[in-house]
């Protein structure tokens, strides 16, 4: 396994593979890898001849008061895990190599990125679409693998790839959870033991919503209220709870089609997101 630090080295490696007729897959991450990331890496290895994992905590997707400085990092352990998974290249750019002092070009999606996390994290998705574009241009992948855990991110990336004709297939894999249901996240390491227990109410709320839908509830106000109650019972501070169309991310008043139930909440100092698909039958 090679560790490459510049876009030029990465492009050269990828061009050689492509000349040999080998397909290239990219798994973009911010590191501090867990089983969720590993599930993406394993799928990528099945789909392509070559697998690149990028590890980059992207400063431009963090707001000025957010956790860029304290975001968990352990590059040595991440590289060991990637080696064990049979990754071909870890692309590990430095911040200075990614963003010149006078960097002035941005990629911005202007619809799907505006609600949900985009509302409470202005500029976040502009950072995401810009860095994913840069990663695509460095790795030159045939496909890239993302997690449904970040449902809005996948919707924004799909839209960007369609609108800007990126020749990259987007694959999205289900959320990997801890045994008790908590969605795996690098940020979980910052939860105290008590907050870790309280955080379970997010998954509990999603499960409650699924039961209500099974029982025939179709008004999204009722579903939102039930999830809100589940979070309030643990004094978890809600950022948003919304039932939206999975592609446009526009809010739905009535569950007349499969919908995305998306939640963001603060558990102590840690902002967590989770989601599920609600499937009305009949």
53 binds ligand AMP (CB under 6 A): no
Stretch that binds ligand AMP, among 37-45, 129-137, 213-221, 241-249 (CB under 6 A): 37-45
In 170-200, which positions are buried (b, 16+ CB within 10 angstroms) versus exposed (e)?
ebbbebbebeeebbbbbbbebbeeebbebbb
Number of other residues whose CB lies within 10 A of the CB of residue 215: 7
Residues of span 133-172 touching ligand AMP by CB under 6 A: 146-147, 149-150
- Is residue 40 involved in binding ligand AMP (CB under 6 A)? yes
What residue ranges in 12-86 does DSSP mark as E strands? 24-29, 50-55
Of 152, 110, 184, 158, nearest to 261 by C-alpha is: 152
Least Å distance, CB 29 to ligand AMP, is 4
Distance separating alpha carbons of residues 161 and 159, to the nearest angstrom: 5
Task: Please say if 237 is a catalytic residue.
Answer: no
Q: Could you say which of 117, 140, 183, 255 contacts ligand AMP (CB under 6 A)?
A: 183
Select the residue interacting with ligand AMP from 25, 36, 141, 205 (CB under 6 A): 36
Tell me how far, at minimum, the Cβ of 144 lies from ligand AMP, in Å: 9
Shortest distance, position 37 Cβ to ligand AMP, whole Å: 5
Q: What is the DSSP letter of 183?
A: B
Could you tell me the strand order of the sheet in which 259-267 lies? 237-244, 259-267, 270-278
Span of 29-37, 62-70, 108-116, 242-250 interacting with ligand AMP by CB under 6 A: 29-37
Shortest Å distance, C-beta 241 to ligand AMP: 19
Q: Count Cα neighbours of 187 within 13 Å in the Cβ-side half-sphere.
A: 20
Cross-strand pairs, 170? 144
Total of chain residues touching ligand AMP, rule CB under 6 A: 17
User: Footprint of ligand AMP on this chain (CB under 6 A)?
Assistant: 29-30, 36-37, 39-40, 146-147, 149-150, 173, 175-176, 183-186
List residues with catalytic annotation. Answer: 37
């Amino acid at each position: 396994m090679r560790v490459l630090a510049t876009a030029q080295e990465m492009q050269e490696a990828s061009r050689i593979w492509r000349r040999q007729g080998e397909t290239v897959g990219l798994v973009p991450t911010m590191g501090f890898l867990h089983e969720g990331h590993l599930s993406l890496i394993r799928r990528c290895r099945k789909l392509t001849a070559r697998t690149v994992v990028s590890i980059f905590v992207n400063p431009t997707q963090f707001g000025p008061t957010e956790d860029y400085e304290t975001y968990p990092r352990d590059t040595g352990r991440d590289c060991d895990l990637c080696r064990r998974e049979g990754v071909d290249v870890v692309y590990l750019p430095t911040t200075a190599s990614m963003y010149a002092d006078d960097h002035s070009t941005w990629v911005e999606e202007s619809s799907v990125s505006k609600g949900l996390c985009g509302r409470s994290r202005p500029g976040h998705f502009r950072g995401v679409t810009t860095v994913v574009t840069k990663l695509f241009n460095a790795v030159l992948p045939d496909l890239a693998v993302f997690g449904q855990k970040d449902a809005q991110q996948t919707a924004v990336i799909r839209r960007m790839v369609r609108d800007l004709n990126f020749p990259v297939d987007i694959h999205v894999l289900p959320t990997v959870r801890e045994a008790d249901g908590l969605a795996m996240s690098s940020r979980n390491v910052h939860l105290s033991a008590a907050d870790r227990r309280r955080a379970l109410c997010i998954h509990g709320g999603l499960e409650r919503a699924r039961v209500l839908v099974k029982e025939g509830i179709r008004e999204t106000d009722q579903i939102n209220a039930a999830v809100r109650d589940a979070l309030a019972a643990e004094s978890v501070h809600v950022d948003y709870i919304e039932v939206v169309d999975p592609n446009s991310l526009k809010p739905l008043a009535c569950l007349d089609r499969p919908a995305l139930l998306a939640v963001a909440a603060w558990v102590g100092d840690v902002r967590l997101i989770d989601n599920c698909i609600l499937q009305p039958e009949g």
